[in-house]
Amino acid sequence: MELRPAYFDLMSPDGHITSLKGSKAIIMIEGISPFFVGFDIDKNRISFNLKSSLAQIGVDSLMTGLLLDKAGQRAEIELELIGVSKLGKEMLGLLEKGALIGKLFAADDRRCVRDPHYLSRMFKRSDRLGHPLLSLGGSEGSSSMVLESVDNRAVAYLSLLEGTVNYESTIEGFLPTMAKALMHNISMRDFLRLHQRFIPDEPRLIKEGQLLLVKTLPLHVRTVFARVATDLLPKGYKHTSADVLQPDTRASGDIYELYGTSPLELLEIPLEFYTLEPYREYIFFGDRDQLQVCLECPEDLFTAFDTSPEAQSSIFIVKGSQLKNLKTDDWLIRDPHKHDFPGISHSERQGLLAEKYIHQQPTYPFLKAITDGVITSQGVLFSRYFPSPLLKSALLQEAVIRCVKGLYFRYPSLSHEDFFSHEDFALLNDLSKFGIPVFWIEKRHGKILQFIQKNPGESGMFVPIDKIKIFKESVMFGVYGSNLLEGNFEQELISFFKGLQESQKKNNWPLLPSNKPLALITGGGPGAMEVGNRVAKTLGILSCANIVDFRAKDKKSVINEQLQNPYVEAKMTYRIEKLVERQAEFNLDYPIFLTGGIGTDFEYALEELRRKVGTVSTTPVLLFGSSAYWRAKITHRFQSNLQSGTIKGSEWISNCFYVVQNAAEALQVFEAFFSGQLLIGTSGPIYEEGFAVVKDLFGKAT
């Protein structure tokens, strides 16, 4: 996408007179954008649009020749200038070389508005500054504008006010000033009004050799080019070549200049319309039906991202056809060079380097274009890599929030591949809070995942689209355990969750209502974690994972690399240096521990601490395995703390942990808890081993 703030692509800059011999003039236009549509369409669809101030004086023009030079970005136009009234003829005598008198308009038939609904949906809508997008006489449209389909084009018929516009005698003394203003491209329209007088009761009739100026209610046009449909005027009426209304028309464009001969009184002005560049159309996302269909099609999304260059690149998508026809050349490529920032002690240098780095990001030009009002249509931002957190202030600006209706990316990080930093995670949460959906087009496993926060709190995951409701409403169980050992717990876990689901439906407990879905979360790796995720998939429970990048920077470290197991559906990923933050995001309602090593010990201590300090509710924690195994891991530490008095007042923490050897014992714990019969928390007993053994506590499970 090329962002062109200077000119709309259907219109050129103003041209100046280079030669003037009688009524014959040569006009030169320079600095035309290479994207000017007129370079590539039939010349018969290009017209010269005279300045409206000249037309209101009684000057018209007829283009008799056109030479376009795309390479030189210029055009040469042969014009015949016509004085259609006494004032117009006087004005022609004052024109000089160098006067800027008009521009080219390319009436590209492909951009002609065919459907009146394209226009009518703009009524009652405004831009971010409150200016109506399309209206006649007010912000909500008007009964004085009738939209119809005529000859396969949308036509608006603007009702005329009763009366005509004439000039006071002072106008003749103003003409030389107006001629000089044209030499410097100074707008005279407002000054011209000072010499005009509206006569309410005068008939709107044209007479030979006279100019007829008629008036409508104030017109607002922001979303399209409008042009007088001269072929729909009554027979004998001619409109001047100042017949195009630009998309910056605000409460103006209400005077129309006509001449000719006809016995019929003019009642209305017909306008036809041409669309702007897609990103400047002020089109709302809800009106882009085809785009929404494409965004719901995984094949279209994967195909679109397959066109992205293998570099940091972005593109802003506003139309379905744009998405379906993406090419590699369409993406904006940047190669940011990140320097070591000097730190807050060198705040000025720090700020300059950070700003420079931000400006080098491939998403930045689109965000700036939105802020500057160059991009006005709502759409979605595609980025090969998740945007740098340094772009947060640009992403969360009001204009961007209003315009960007989705952020799609393929890889979380250029340097860390599938893993997010803590700052990335903070940005994800902020984007979610401000209503910008974020989607991961996850190529490795062929999934479309959306970042979803699980309220309350700051935790969130990338979740398959069809699982979002389940994720938001689910009760979260978790499985901790070794990435080296699967153990022999799989069948017991299957039996436990099956039994729990059956009891849930039958009992409809307040803490586990029958309509609440279950989700299971692990660390996403092999071993015990794979067992947990496989069990979830087997039973139709949402299978989730918080996956950390265990690839060691220190080559001397002994790390068994953690690979994502194939049973994960929803996930969040983390870099190794943010391991503690990753653990905080588990936010489990009900943890389950299997056989594990140092990592499992760490996770156990965190779950213990969460309950002690009250960051989570006091809920039971299952310890699958023999009492001897858990006694060796837990009891000595718990008793040491008891004897030293370092957990005084918190000894009750021991009643949160329950050693179970099978599914039946695990169900006993939860059925007792959900029915309010389990003594747990500060008012519960203290178990000297640091946990309770279920077979001793309840007796033999049935």
pLDDT digits (tens, 9 = 90+) for 478-527: 999 888 777 788 999 999 999 999 999 999 999 999 999 999 999 998 99
The residue among 672 and 217 whose pLDDT is bigger is: 672
d(CA 5, CA 15): 19
d(CA 235, CA 29): 34
Considering only CA atoms, which of 593, 606, 611 is closest in space to residue 653?
Answer: 611
Residue pair 567/500 in contact (Cβ under 8 Å)? The answer is no
- Residue 561 pLDDT exceeds 70: no
The reported pLDDT for the residue numbered 255 is 92
| Number of Cα atoms under 13 Å in the Cβ half of residue 436 | 25
- Residue 467 pLDDT exceeds 70: yes
Report percent pLDDT > 90 for the chain. Answer: 73
Q: Torsion-angle region of residue 558: left (phi > 0), alpha (psi -120 to 50) or beta? A: beta
The reported pLDDT for the residue numbered 127 is 80
Fold (CATH) for 116-278: Deoxyuridine 5'-Triphosphate Nucleotidohydrolase; Chain A (2.70.40)
- Alpha-carbon distances, residue 111 vs 43, 66, 116, 273, 353 (angstroms): 15, 22, 14, 8, 43
DSSP assignment letter at 476: E
- Burial (Cβ within 10 Å: 0-12, 13-18, ≥19) of residue 196: middle
Residue pair 327/307 in contact (Cβ under 8 Å)? The answer is yes
Cβ-based neighbours of 189, under 8 Å, separated by 6 or more: 52, 53, 252
- Burial (Cβ within 10 Å: 0-12, 13-18, ≥19) of residue 620: buried
Helical spans, DSSP H, in 540-662: 579-584, 598-613, 627-630, 636-644
Which architecture characterizes domain 469-702 according to CATH?
A: 3-Layer(aba) Sandwich (3.40)
The residue among 496 and 127 whose pLDDT is bigger is: 496
Cβ-based neighbours of 355, under 8 Å, separated by 6 or more: none
The reported pLDDT for the residue numbered 599 is 85
Mean pLDDT of 178-191: 92
Q: What pLDDT digit, counting tens, does each position of 75-115 carry?
A: 999 999 999 999 999 999 999 999 999 999 999 999 999 99
Considering only CA atoms, which of 554, 548, 542, 539 is closest in space to residue 574?
Answer: 548
| Strand order, beta sheet including 100-106 | 46-50, 100-106, 15-21, 24-30, 74-83, 59-69
Task: Count Cβ atoms below 10 Å from residue 546 Cβ, excluding itself.
Answer: 22
Token pair recorded at residue 574: 């983390």
Mean pLDDT of 529-539: 95
Which region among 20-34, 325-339, 522-536, 680-694 has the lowest average model confidence (pLDDT)?
325-339
Residue whose pair of structure tokens reads 């027979």 in the numeric block = 235
The reported pLDDT for the residue numbered 60 is 98
The reported pLDDT for the residue numbered 36 is 94
Mean pLDDT score across all residues of the chain: 90
Peptide bond before 456: cis, by omega within 30 degrees of 0?
A: yes
Q: Torsion-angle region of residue 447: left (phi > 0), alpha (psi -120 to 50) or beta? A: beta
The number of residues making up the chain comes to 702
Q: Nearest 5 degrees, angle CA 585-CA 591-CA 595?
A: 110
Token pair recorded at residue 337: 């060079």
Cβ-based neighbours of 506, under 8 Å, separated by 6 or more: none
Determine which helix (DSSP H) or strand (DSSP E) holds 53, and give its type and residue range: helix 52-57
d(CA 222, CA 369): 17
Helix (H, G, I), strand (E, B) or coil at 126: strand
What's the 3-state SS for 493-535? HHHHHHHHHHHHHHHCECCECCCCCEEEEECCCCCHHHHHHHH
Which architecture characterizes domain 283-453 according to CATH?
A: 3-Layer(aba) Sandwich (3.40)
Residue pair 242/54 in contact (Cβ under 8 Å)? The answer is yes
Report the Cα 602 to chain-centroid distance in Å.
40
Residue whose pair of structure tokens reads 């299978």 in the numeric block = 543
Residue pair 670/679 in contact (Cβ under 8 Å)? The answer is no
* β-bridge pairing 164-167 and 379-385: unpaired
Distance in Å from the first CA to the final CA of the chain:
68
The reported pLDDT for the residue numbered 456 is 60
d(CA 351, CA 173): 57
Cβ-based neighbours of 323, under 8 Å, separated by 6 or more: 291, 294, 295, 300, 304, 317
Determine which helix (DSSP H) or strand (DSSP E) holds 68, and give its type and residue range: strand 59-69
The reported pLDDT for the residue numbered 62 is 97
Confidence of residue 135 (pLDDT cuts 50, 70, 90): confident
d(CA 76, CA 58): 24
Confidence of residue 702 (pLDDT cuts 50, 70, 90): very low
Mean pLDDT of 553-563: 55
Please provide the DSSP assignment of 528-570 as one string.
HHHHHHHHHHHHT-EEEEEEEE---SSTTS--------TT--E
Determine which helix (DSSP H) or strand (DSSP E) holds 371, and give its type and residue range: helix 364-371
Cβ-based neighbours of 213, under 8 Å, separated by 6 or more: 56, 164, 165, 166, 196, 255, 256, 257, 258
Cα Dmax for the chain: 114
Considering only CA atoms, which of 676, 672, 675 is closest in space to residue 664?
Answer: 672
The reported pLDDT for the residue numbered 153 is 96
d(CA 400, CA 440): 20
Mean pLDDT of 378-391: 96
Considering only CA atoms, which of 480, 476, 425 is closest in space to residue 455?
Answer: 476
Task: Count Cβ atoms below 10 Å from residue 97 Cβ, excluding itself.
Answer: 12
The reported pLDDT for the residue numbered 219 is 85
d(CA 122, CA 275): 13
- Residue 554 pLDDT exceeds 60: no
Token pair recorded at residue 492: 């017991």
- Residue 650 pLDDT exceeds 60: yes
Q: Nearest 5 degrees, angle CA 581-CA 584-CA 588?
A: 155
The reported pLDDT for the residue numbered 485 is 76
Cβ-based neighbours of 156, under 8 Å, separated by 6 or more: 119, 145, 146, 147, 226, 270, 271, 273
List beta partners, residue 102.
15, 50
Q: What pLDDT digit, counting tens, does each position of 211-240 carry?
A: 999 999 888 888 899 999 999 999 999 999
The reported pLDDT for the residue numbered 550 is 72
Report the Cα 379 to chain-centroid distance in Å.
5
Q: What pLDDT digit, counting tens, does each position of 293-344 carry?
A: 999 999 999 999 999 999 999 999 999 999 999 999 999 999 877 666 666 6
The residue among 73 and 357 whose pLDDT is bigger is: 73
- Alpha-carbon distances, residue 89 vs 59, 82, 85, 237, 700 (angstroms): 7, 8, 6, 20, 111
The reported pLDDT for the residue numbered 552 is 60
The reported pLDDT for the residue numbered 130 is 81
The reported pLDDT for the residue numbered 455 is 72
d(CA 386, CA 420): 9
Which region among 49-58, 494-503, 552-561 has the lowest average model confidence (pLDDT)?
552-561
